[in-house]
Amino acid sequence: MDQSLATVDIHANGVAHVTMNRPDALNALSPDLIDALTAAFRTLDRDDAVRVVLLSGAGRHFCAGADIKAMLDMTAADAVRTAFSGCCDALAAVGKPVVAAVHGHALGGGCELVEMCDVVIAANDAVFGHPEATVGTMPGAGGTQRLPRALGKHKAMDLLLTGRLMDAAEAERAGLVSRVVAAENLRTEARTVADRIAGLSRPVLAMIKQAVRDAFETPLRDGLRLERALFHRSLTLDDAREGMAAFRDRRPPAFADH
Ligand code: CO8
């Protein structure tokens, strides 16, 4: 496993900073990056020295979503066999508070990572969205379940069905983002939030997180199972191949509805 794809810095006060580090591909979630993130989140959740996890992306963007080039020839069976299907279940399972520091684009699977976090600090240049349908597929890491819970059905449907993107101000109004800050202050502001959380009682925070999560996630489990089955089915469509090939070839897709 290439752990340099997800670097971890653990600070003395217990803030563990995880950085997605595949900047040339805009931190697109390749199987290798997913493996590295999964290993990092599992280790940090077990590490008693860690009180808070801070997640950010290296380079121009937070994360441009699932690696479309890796998905181009991926069958449903491939997705089941590899880390892809459980994309960052390990992040959703972290029992400690998780703060996201988002700049640039957080799209598709990248937006799903944001949806799994607890506090979301966004730079004013951040952009969020679920363009999966425009490349012939659908969310597979919780987007159809967590986004409507965060934004309400109609706002979520607007984003999911059209693939349009929303800026940081709209995302904050809609409830996806906790706070918007100037891009140049993102790192400091996110760290300040994480530091503050790190200074509070670990068991109290764990109980608050468990209570909030359970309020949302008891019925969510069924929804996630359904979504995963549908995501695998979407990979059997010619339109998925076409949408992703069109992205790779930098041309508009010609969908055939099968
Ligand atoms: N996958 C693979 N490569 C990507 C991706 C991606 N998602 N996004 C960008 N790249 C690559 C580009 O191909 C390009 O590579 P190269 O230099 O080799 O040509 C490089 O990153 C830089 O990209 P751009 O030149 O496009 O950069 P721009 O700044 O012009 O544009 C955008 C940035 C707007 C973010 C644009 O790259 C874009 O639209 N990317 C695709 C976004 C998208 O459609 N995401 C959804 C993917 S589907 C998904 O997430 C399904 C989730 C399923 C479950 C989760 C499992 C992990």
* Gap between the Cα atoms of 85 and 96, Å rounded: 23
Please report whether residue 194 resides in a domain.
no
Please report whether residue 114 resides in a domain.
yes
User: With contact defined as beta carbons under 8 Å apart, do 67 and 30 qualify?
Assistant: yes
Q: With 90 as the cut, is the pLDDT of residue 149 above it?
A: yes
Distance 108 CA to ligand 1 centre (A): 9
Please report whether residue 197 resides in a domain.
no
Q: With 90 as the cut, is the pLDDT of residue 81 above it?
A: no
CATH code of the domain covering residue 10: 3.90.226.10
Distance 234 CA to ligand 1 centre (A): 19
Range of the domain at 158: 3-184
- What pLDDT is attached to residue 225? 87
Range 20-44 average pLDDT: 96
What token pair was written down for 215?
A: 């309020």
* Gap between the Cα atoms of 114 and 239, Å rounded: 27
The alpha-helical segments, DSSP class H, found in the chain are: 31-46, 68-71, 76-81, 89-92, 109-116, 143-151, 153-162, 168-174, 186-198, 202-234, 238-249
Buried b or exposed e, range 47-76, using 16+ CB within 10 angstroms: eeebbbbbbbbbbebbbbbbbbebbeebee
- What pLDDT is attached to residue 217? 80
- What pLDDT is attached to residue 188? 98
Please report whether residue 139 resides in a domain.
yes
* Residue 143 near ligand 1, beta carbon < 6 Å: no
66 catalytic? Reply is: yes
Please report whether residue 146 resides in a domain.
yes
- For a ligand 1 pocket test, name from 26, 30, 134 the mutation site with the most ligand atoms within 8 angstroms of its C-beta: 26
* Residue 67 near ligand 1, beta carbon < 6 Å: yes
- What pLDDT is attached to residue 218? 76
Please report whether residue 133 resides in a domain.
yes
Please report whether residue 86 resides in a domain.
yes
CA-closest residue to ligand 1 atom 39: 64
Q: With 80 as the cut, is the pLDDT of residue 85 above it?
A: no
Q: Which of 115, 132, 189, 227 is catalytic?
A: 132
Range 224-246 average pLDDT: 91
Q: Which of 14, 65, 109, 143 is catalytic?
A: 109
Question: Nearest Cα to 65, choosing from 177, 159, 149, 140?
Answer: 140
Out of 86-90, 138-142, 165-169, 172-176, least confident range: 86-90
**Amino acid letter, 220:** L
CA-closest residue to ligand 1 atom 15: 25
What percentage of the chain carries pLDDT values higher than 90?
Answer: 81
Q: What's the number of domains the chain is made of?
A: 1
**DSSP secondary structure code for residue 48 in this structure:** T
- What pLDDT is attached to residue 222? 84
Q: Which phi and psi angles does 121 have, rounded to 5°?
A: -100, 120
Which residues, other chains included, contact 132 with Cβ-Cβ below 8 Å and sequence gap of 6+? Answer: 65, 108, 138, 139, 143, 160, 163
Please report whether residue 118 resides in a domain.
yes
User: Residue 79: which pLDDT band, with cuts at 50, 70 and 90?
Assistant: confident
Q: From the alpha carbon of 60, which atom of ligand 1 is closest?
A: 29
Q: Which of 70, 110, 112, 122 is catalytic?
A: 112
Q: From the alpha carbon of 25, which atom of ligand 1 is closest?
A: 21
Distance 168 CA to ligand 1 centre (A): 19
- What pLDDT is attached to residue 232? 92
132 catalytic? Reply is: yes
User: With contact defined as beta carbons under 8 Å apart, do 237 and 256 qualify?
Assistant: no
* Gap between the Cα atoms of 63 and 61, Å rounded: 6
